[in-house]
Structure 1
């Protein structure tokens, strides 16, 4: 509810145009003085449903790309884990410089 109170007064979408309560509140005034926005009405309004559909489509595309990559290159991550545990690290760096 605090977000609604802050944003609607800050951007003028609340019928109450009295900004004094957010200007005098220590938390709201800190946000207001730095012009911090959580919502920009100029970017337009989208419904939660349309936003979720967009995110689901992006996640589906990413999952398909990841799976396609793994199918093409066949990386077995467990293979890397086994190599690390079998060897002692070489900490002698004297000959490298």
Structure 2
């Protein structure tokens, strides 16, 4: 229930917003370990495909997608092993063409 807002942020044009949310949680996770489980749940959602509104969205948001991927990789600095595992799975999902398992 606490991640219900993320189901609305699954469009390519909202990658920057999702990245900002993940970064804020990462900052909190260093002092408050309870944010690590939230990050894992959010990263599992990020493994699912993002939607395009227009056929040109993939081209228009290529730079945002690269920055989003970079921000996800930045989460590797969090010392929690579960967060690191979720980061690796999220990055792998960007390069796999198959449907990822349900989070």
- Structure ranking higher on relative contact order (CA contacts 8 Å, 6+ apart): 2
**Rg larger in structure:** 1
